[in-house]
Amino acid sequence: MFQNTVLLLKMGWRNLWRQKRRSLITLSAMASGLALCIPTYGLIVGMTTSMTKGITRMHLGDIQIHNPKWPEEKGIRQTIPFDDIYTRLKRKSGIIGVAPRIYSGGMISSDEEIELTAVWDKKVNTGEGNDEEFHCKALISEKASKKYRLTPGSTLLFKPVPVSLNCGTLKISGIRHGDYADNEIFVSENIMRALGAENPEGKTQEKSTDDDSDIDNLKKLPAVVDSASKKENPEGKTQEKSTDDDSDIDNLKKLPAVVDKNEKTIEKRKLSFTRIKKKIKWRFVRTKSAPVGIMGILPSEEKLVTNSWKTVIKGSYLNDNPSGKYPEILIGNRLAETLNVKVGDRIGMDSATSHFYPMDRFYTVCGIFKTGSTSVDRSVVLVHIKNGWDKDLMDIRYFEGKDKTLRGVHEFAVHVKEPSRNSSYISGIKEVTKDVAVVRTWQQIDRGMAMMIKTTDAMTSIILMIILIIAAFGTMNTMLMSVIERIREFGVLKSIGMKPNMVARLIIFETFLMSLAASIVGTAIGVALNSYLVNTGLDLRSVLPDGFTFQGVVLDPVWRGIWTIEGIAIPVILLFVISMLVSIWPAVRAARIKPVEAFRQTIG
Amino acid sequence: MLRITIISIIAFYSSAATAQKWGNCTADTRTIVDKADRIMFSRTSAGKMTMSVKKAGYSSKMTMKFWSEGRDKMSVKITSPARNRNTSTLKVGNNVWYYMPRTDRIVKVNSSMMGESWMGSHFSNDDLVKETQLYKHYDCQSRKDDKDFIVIELKPKSNAPVVWGKIVMKILKSNNIPEESRYYSEKGQLKRTMKFSGVKKVDGKTVPTVMTLIPAGKEEFTKLVYEKIRFDVAIPSRYFSIRGLKK
């Protein structure tokens, strides 16, 4: 049997070279099909890998740990204990990084102080007392508008706010064209009077009171509307006296009127005696704010899990032990533009807390990042996780255990040694977290993306199949031709006693040998092509200058291939399988040749 | 018997004669609802209150002072606990501002934040702003007179800019004080219940001094207890200004 095989192989090999040109053409078709398949596979796997990396190394990590309720609700009090899980996971082998995270949200705002010269302009309508808008109005000179980037709609806060002015803000209602100085702002008489009357040190500052004097000392309005009902109800007034125990209305009437209902008219009368200046310098504060998502991180650990530190384009990443007066904050480049801040600037931000109401704090901008994803660059800020644990700020603890003082986090993102086998680490992590948390792979968290990558894999296989099937039809054609050509030859072989299955095997062996030769040549060319794609890659920068984002994932603009065993083995195996399949028909045909009929045919 | 006849005649007469029916109900229903709705609104009011919030695994208590003028202007300043002291909220018309004392910042609540909770309570910023007079946007659907209570069902007028699909008010007959208001979604699902209790005569007015907001289907509530309240006092306009917020 074995000897037969060797004999058949020898015969097959010789047969192949009897029709040199045809065999070479078929061989080159197969080889080039294979040579195309290898780099194609490399490129597609390269893309899915870089996408996976983009997802996991940008933010997700390979595995994430959450409170069981977090995936559904994302409540600020749905935390997991920090210290216990963190230290035990760090000791586990195969785990590279365990990044704790706290999520919150709030408003971030920057203040910019500018000094402008208020110019009295009779044509400007104050707008004071307009409760709907609650702004005084002003016009700004064209130059100042350009210099301070103030446009109609911008609002300025007086600093300090003049006492006799009701509006706290000044809204720019228009731009005055013409030759005016670059710091001029045109306001109405009311505002000029108020600014002119202001004497920052002279006026006693109203202080915040601990007692209820700011309620008790308010004087009763003269009864106008309720007079009728009060007359009907004479007991009402006696009742008043008995309920108000600490401060009574009778005393109030004797007190000098702190506030009079005519307060405004008195002040205005007083003001009208003062001379109105034509120009007054005043300081204004311009506030710019934006809603943001806040992420509290442990910088050293975050660096082990994600590449977010690589996205910093100005300044530096967060430090584990910041030294400045205020905690550090890392913001996106688009947010920095909106707020008009640079590295080193101070900004204020309030954040949602575990008590459900916002608390605020100042931060120093330590760096500016750019991920390429517009929404992230515009609305995500990073702060040290200490701010999350701070009792005076977010106060995030583990609320579900017996000890309510334990530090809590919303999420752990874990980076493992073998990211492609991340699901195999799940059970080990579950031993640590028990039922306190849910442990999921990134594929389970971002199902859409995982699905898409799977679909891409399936598409790769289809593309490979198509390329190889085309090549295989060529093979089938060649084999059929050679069978038909050699009908007489097979007739002879059969008449001297060769069995039909031997004839069939001969044809299959011929195909096998051709495939073998093709796979050697094809692999060599394919590997050469792929090594170029791995090392140099396809540069898409001219087409996509900013890199490209796909479903929020930022991808490298240089598209590179990747080396995998499957990337070579699968095409080769496919080539063999398909070639063997297509050789069956010619083989069967050859086996069925009847010697008598074969001799009758004359082929020339 | 005669009395009943007379009453029914009067009732029939009035309902037939007055063209000013409110939805499906008699015209006086509107007065009753409006009085109940305005129970806490005087021309102005000032006072102190305690707000207790109970949520799953969480409870808090805050004391605050407030000043209000009509429905349009309101200013609230938190006095305790210490970590929130002097945090203030100002509402003028449709605008809401927060004052953050630690960073000395004034934050205007923008539209995306309007739906968020106010100071951790079950009230949202929107609730502060969207307090509209009920009869403006609602029509009376039905009215049931009990021995002590009047139960009135309100449906929003078509195209009314309101969130609720139905409001059921239970009002005490004797003094027009609401006992309970139930708020339903457009699909007719109960969303929240507001309960009024602790009725007292304060500063010449009989008002409920405890208001409890209970979101439907949760073991949670927000309870407001008025400790001191004064009506119709002259409140200087600076209390309702951005300048006043910082004070």
Q: Is the pLDDT of residue A523 over 90?
A: yes
| pLDDT band at residue A172 under the 50/70/90 scheme | confident
Mutation target for A interface from B203, B206, B239: give the one with most A CBs within 10 A. B203
Please count the helices (runs of H) and the strands (runs of E) in chain B. Answer: 5, 14
What's the confidence (pLDDT) of residue A241? 37
How far B120 CA lies from chain A's nearest CA (Å)?
4
pTM of structure:
0.73
Say yes or no: A439 and A526 in one domain: no
Spell out which residues of chain B touch residue A233, defining contact as CB-CB under 8 Å: 204
**Number of A–B residue contacts, CB under 8 Å:** 146
B207 found inside a domain: yes
A432 found inside a domain: yes
Closest of A401, A442, A398, A339 to residue A51, by C-alpha: A442
How far A358 CA lies from chain B's nearest CA (Å)?
7
CB-CB under 8 Å, A354 with B232: no
Q: What does the block give as tokens for A105?
A: 């949200």
Q: How far apart are CA A474 and CA A497, in angstroms?
A: 31
Tell me the sheet residues that pair with B95.
B92
A178 found inside a domain: no
DSSP secondary structure letters along A408-448 = EESEEEEEES-GGGGGGGHHHHHHHHGGGSEEEEHHHHSHH
CB-CB under 8 Å, A131 with B92: yes
How far B139 CA lies from chain A's nearest CA (Å)?
27
Spell out which residues of chain B touch residue A157, defining contact as CB-CB under 8 Å: 106, 242
Say yes or no: A497 and A563 in one domain: yes
Percentage of residues in chain A having pLDDT higher than 70: 83
CB-CB under 8 Å, A218 with B108: no
| DSSP β-ladder status, B166-172 and B149-156 | antiparallel
> Could you tell me which chain A residue has the CA closest to the CA of B122?
A356
Say yes or no: A463 and A595 in one domain: yes
Look at chain B and report how many structural domains it folds into.
1
> DSSP alpha helices (H): ranges in A56-177?
70-73, 83-91, 142-148
Q: What is the CA radius of gyration of chain A?
A: 41
Say yes or no: A429 and A343 in one domain: no
What's the confidence (pLDDT) of residue A356? 82
Q: How far apart are CA A398 and CA A82, in angstroms?
A: 8
DSSP secondary structure letters along B79-136 = EESGGGTT-EEEEETTEEEEEETTTTEEEE--GGGTTSBSTTSS-BHHHHH----HHH
Closest of B113, B60, B77 to residue B221, by C-alpha: B60
What's the confidence (pLDDT) of residue A258? 40
Lowest mean pLDDT among A53-62, A121-130, A366-375, A463-472: A121-130
B93 found inside a domain: yes
- Residue B119 touches partner A, C-beta closer than 8 Å: yes
Mutation target for B interface from A216, A292, A357: give the one with most B CBs within 10 A. A357
Give the residue-averaged pLDDT of A70-85: 90
* Domain limits for position A308: 291-389
Q: How far apart are CA A158 and CA A424, in angstroms?
A: 62
A40 found inside a domain: yes
A256 found inside a domain: no
pLDDT digits (tens, 9 = 90+) for A255-266: 333 444 444 454
> Could you tell me which chain A residue has the CA closest to the CA of B246?
A208
Mutation target for B interface from A215, A235, A346, A397: give the one with most B CBs within 10 A. A215
Question: Please, which residues have CB within 8 angstroms of residue A390's CB and are 6 or more apart in sequence?
Answer: none
B166 found inside a domain: yes
Q: How far apart are CA B86 and CA B247, in angstroms?
A: 8
Residues 151-180 of B with CB under 8 A from A: none
Q: Is the pLDDT of residue A126 over 70?
A: no
B210 found inside a domain: yes
CB-CB under 8 Å, B92 with A355: no
Lowest mean pLDDT among B59-63, B104-108, B228-232: B104-108
B7 found inside a domain: no
Decide if A304 contacts A261 (C-beta within 8 A): no
Give the residue-averaged pLDDT of B106-115: 79
Say yes or no: A455 and A593 in one domain: yes
| Higher-confidence position of B76 and A604 | B76
What's the confidence (pLDDT) of residue A275? 63
What's the confidence (pLDDT) of residue A332? 94
| pLDDT band at residue B20 under the 50/70/90 scheme | low
Say yes or no: A488 and A565 in one domain: yes
How far B125 CA lies from chain A's nearest CA (Å)?
12
What's the confidence (pLDDT) of residue B3? 62
What's the confidence (pLDDT) of residue A296? 94
Residues 7-66 of B with CB under 8 A from A: 42-44, 46-48, 53, 55-58, 60, 65
Look at chain A and report how many structural domains it folds into.
3
Query: What is the maximal distance between C-alpha atoms in chain B?
Result: 72
B167 found inside a domain: yes
A525 found inside a domain: yes
Say yes or no: A523 and A471 in one domain: yes
* Domain limits for position B181: 21-246
What's the confidence (pLDDT) of residue A498? 84
Mutation target for A interface from B35, B79, B230: give the one with most A CBs within 10 A. B230
Q: Which of A9-13, A256-260, A270-274 has the highest mean pLDDT?
A: A9-13
What's chain A's average pLDDT?
81
> Could you tell me which chain B residue has the CA closest to the CA of A205?
B247
How far B58 CA lies from chain A's nearest CA (Å)?
8
The burial of A404, by beta-carbon neighbours within 10 Å (0-12 exposed, 13-18 middle, 19 or more buried), is given as exposed
A209 found inside a domain: no
B51 found inside a domain: yes
Decide if B204 contacts A236 (C-beta within 8 A): yes
Q: Is B244 left (phi over 0), alpha (psi -120 to 50) or beta?
A: alpha
Say yes or no: A465 and A531 in one domain: yes
Decide if B23 contacts B30 (C-beta within 8 A): no
B221 found inside a domain: yes
Query: Coil, strand, or helix at residue B168?
Result: strand
A65 found inside a domain: yes
Residues 74-103 of B with CB under 8 A from A: 79, 83-84, 86-87, 92-95, 98, 100, 102-103
Lowest mean pLDDT among A166-180, A261-275, A429-443, B120-134: A261-275
Say yes or no: A331 and A441 in one domain: no
ipTM higher than 0.90? no
Closest of A297, A299, A285, A311 to residue A396, by C-alpha: A297
Tell me the sheet residues that pair with B53.
B60, B222
How far A286 CA lies from chain B's nearest CA (Å)?
11
Look at the alpha carbons of A265, A266, A268, A273 in this order and tell me if their dihedral is positive or negative.
positive
Say yes or no: A455 and A548 in one domain: yes
Q: How far apart are CA B217 and CA A553, in angstroms?
A: 39
Mutation target for A interface from B111, B129, B242: give the one with most A CBs within 10 A. B242
| Higher-confidence position of A249 and A174 | A174
What's the confidence (pLDDT) of residue A563? 87
Percentage of residues in chain B having pLDDT higher than 70: 91
| Higher-confidence position of A154 and B168 | B168
Q: How far apart are CA A223 and CA A380, in angstroms?
A: 54
Say yes or no: A343 and A434 in one domain: no
Give the residue-averaged pLDDT of A156-173: 76
Q: In this structure, which amino acid lies at residue B52?
A: S
A211 found inside a domain: no
| Higher-confidence position of A277 and A338 | A338
CB-CB under 8 Å, A167 with B241: yes
The partner residue sitting opposite B234, judged by closest CB among A221, A239, A348, is A221
Give the residue-averaged pLDDT of B54-64: 87
Lowest mean pLDDT among A163-177, A295-309, A342-356: A163-177
Q: Is the pLDDT of residue A449 over 80?
A: yes
Residue keyed to tokens 């198509």 = A466
CATH number, position B122:
2.50.20.10
Say yes or no: A580 and A459 in one domain: yes
Q: How far apart are CA A433 and CA A88, in angstroms?
A: 9
Q: How far apart are CA A136 and CA A168, in angstroms?
A: 8
Decide if A67 contacts A61 (C-beta within 8 A): no
Give the residue-averaged pLDDT of A21-41: 88
E strand map for A94-196? 95-120, 135-141, 155-159, 169-176, 184-187
Q: In this structure, which amino acid lies at residue A349?
A: M
